[in-house]
Amino acid sequence: MAHESILVVEDDKDIAELIAYNLKTAGFQTSIALDGTSALKSIKENPPHLVVLDLMLPDMDGIEVCKYLRFNEPTKNVPIVIVTAKGEEIDRVVGFELGADDYIVKPFSPRELILRVKAILRRLKPPIEEKVIRIEGLTLDVERHLVKAGDEEIRLTATEFKLLWELMKNQGRVQTREALLNKVWGYTFEGYERTVDTHIRRLRKKLGESSELIETVRGIGYKIREI
């Protein structure tokens, strides 16, 4: 049985209870917040292991909740799954740019939601093949969940960290978008390859000069260049 706690932030009570019911059935501890204010109060008092977040809330939008999670030390690594009716590509891109780990469009399959939640929580602790990987000025410490470019610490989400780890441990070897989607997100759904591109773009932006280590292999995927 899972013991992770999940906060469901959703203003539609019926949908919130449906999500919470399915997560409880899967063995997770769940709580519900029907607005952003209640969500922030709950997060401050008892940070969850993961947040399922609707973007359209009555008092403050989910974007503000997302920003709070990402820019506060105790919650910066808490995974966020956005569940919303806004399904255009630009909406997905904005969600990932905000630091979301996954994005699900309503209506959705409860089974798919649970599979994605489980995949995210599994990758919070990647298998330790190498505890510390160093490539030029870029350092990734698996045990401490720490990334540094030179002496500067880089804040990454759990998904960004796992994505960089997959690339760095396979330095010089091309990783296809499909392979990265499977290894990092734990699933392969047709049409979701853009998810990888969005996260790579966000990762490069955060890495600054070290972003030059990530090479695009046109039409295939990405790799960390050989030194």
Each residue's pLDDT tens digit, 66-88:
888 888 878 888 999 999 888 78
Lowest-pLDDT choice from 73-82, 158-167, 205-214 = 73-82
Calculate mean pLDDT across residues 142-152: 90
The CATH architecture of the domain made up of 5-122 is 3-Layer(aba) Sandwich (3.40)
Give the CATH fold of the 132-224 domain. Arc Repressor Mutant, subunit A (1.10.10)
Residues 6+ apart with CB under 8 A from 172: 223, 224, 225, 226
Provide the 10 A C-beta neighbour count for residue 164: 26
Which candidate, 110, 107, 80, 108, places its Cα nearest to that of 95?
80
3-state SS, residue 115 = helix
Could you report the per-residue pLDDT of 21-50, keeping only the tens digit for each?
A: 999 999 999 999 999 999 999 998 888 999
pLDDT at residue 188 in the model: 61
Return the percentage of the chain with pLDDT > 90, whole number. 46
User: At 115, which amino acid appears?
Assistant: L
Is the per-residue pLDDT at 225 higher than 80? yes
Is the per-residue pLDDT at 126 higher than 70? no
Is the per-residue pLDDT at 181 higher than 90? no
Q: Compute the mean pLDDT over every residue in the chain, rounded to the nearest whole number.
A: 88
CA–CA separation, 61 and 120 (whole Å): 23
Task: Using alpha carbons, list the distances in angstroms from residue 72 to 67, 76, 94, 113, 207.
Answer: 8, 6, 20, 26, 20
Beta strands in the chain (DSSP E): 5-9, 29-33, 50-53, 80-84, 102-105, 132-135, 138-141, 146-149, 152-153, 175-176, 214-217, 221-224
pLDDT at residue 15 in the model: 93
Domain segments of the chain: what residues?
5-122, 132-224
pLDDT at residue 200 in the model: 95
Instruction: Tell me whether the omega of the peptide bond preceding residue 107 falls within 30 degrees of 0, making it cis.
Output: yes
pLDDT at residue 125 in the model: 63
